[in-house]
Amino acid sequence: MKNILVGILLFPLCCIAQQRILWPEQSQIAVSLSFDDARESQVTKGTTVLDEFKVRATFYVVPSSVKRQIDGWKKAVSNGHEIGNHTLTHPCTGNFPWSRDNALEDYNLERMKNEMLECNKQVKDLLGVECREFAYPCGQKFVGRGAGTKSYVPLVVEHFRSGRGWMDEAANDPYYCNTAQLTCIESDGKTFEELLARVNEAKKNGSWLIFGGHEMDEGGPQTTRIDALRQLLAYMKDPQNHIWIAPVGEVAQYIQDHPVPVK
């Protein structure tokens, strides 16, 4: 009798733990493709492949880079790709020598806020879109150093619908994830088989998998390989695989519109 009572008491908890968000069209997983920095190859090569498969991605841009391929970025917007904010000057820790003169350790919250808002303004002037999504440069979420270190996640909450990290280890649990600190799995340098393994792993739990990359080309450093991307797109577009592919902002909004109990 004691075991029966324990089972009855635990049953509701088990049900909650096993619940899954109902993704659109009976999909078993949500996948977002995202790319950072407004690299030129993204609009000279990458969007051509995405458009071929009718897949919309999220591009987190730095305005100065957009200007180098402005026509390509305008076309990307007209084809439905999402444009996100990646700050005005891409500040990262000064532990990276290339960021020493623009180090997060030398920032405060007000300066970071200005970085974000000025980026939004310039993107609106260049492309006519409002940035509602944000990606943390280098995945780093702090300003200052030592006892004066502050998180700037609250700024992202105040000004954006979502904030995406970088080089994380797991997909996003839609029952639990903080949309201001979304996890991101690197797609750069990966084979199709490696990307597919991450998709299948996330599918087991009905998760939201966000891939993040930089260049979109045949090979090279910080490059999502076109051949691997093409194979992945073909796989994900097959209705038999039950995958919902959508930009980051669209999935974030879907989760916010379908609140679920936190575990």
pLDDT band at 259 (very low <50, low <70, confident <90, very high): confident
pLDDT at position 16, please?
42
209 within domain boundaries: yes
pLDDT at position 22, please?
87
For residue 159, the enclosing domain spans: 25-257
154 within domain boundaries: yes
Is residue 8 predicted with pLDDT exceeding 80?
no
CATH number at residue 53: 3.20.20.370
20 within domain boundaries: no
16 within domain boundaries: no
11 within domain boundaries: no
95 within domain boundaries: yes
pLDDT 10s digits, 137-152: 999 999 999 999 999 9
Question: Given the DSSP bridges, would you call strands 142-143 and 150-151 parallel, antiparallel or unpaired?
Answer: antiparallel
4 within domain boundaries: no
SS3 (DSSP) at 89:
coil
CA angle 57, 61, 65 (to 5 degrees): 125
pLDDT 10s digits, 159-190: 999 999 999 999 999 999 999 999 999 999 99
pLDDT at position 20, please?
66
82/76 Cα distance (integer angstroms): 8
41 within domain boundaries: yes
Mean pLDDT (the chain, rounded): 93
Question: What domain count does the chain have?
Answer: 1
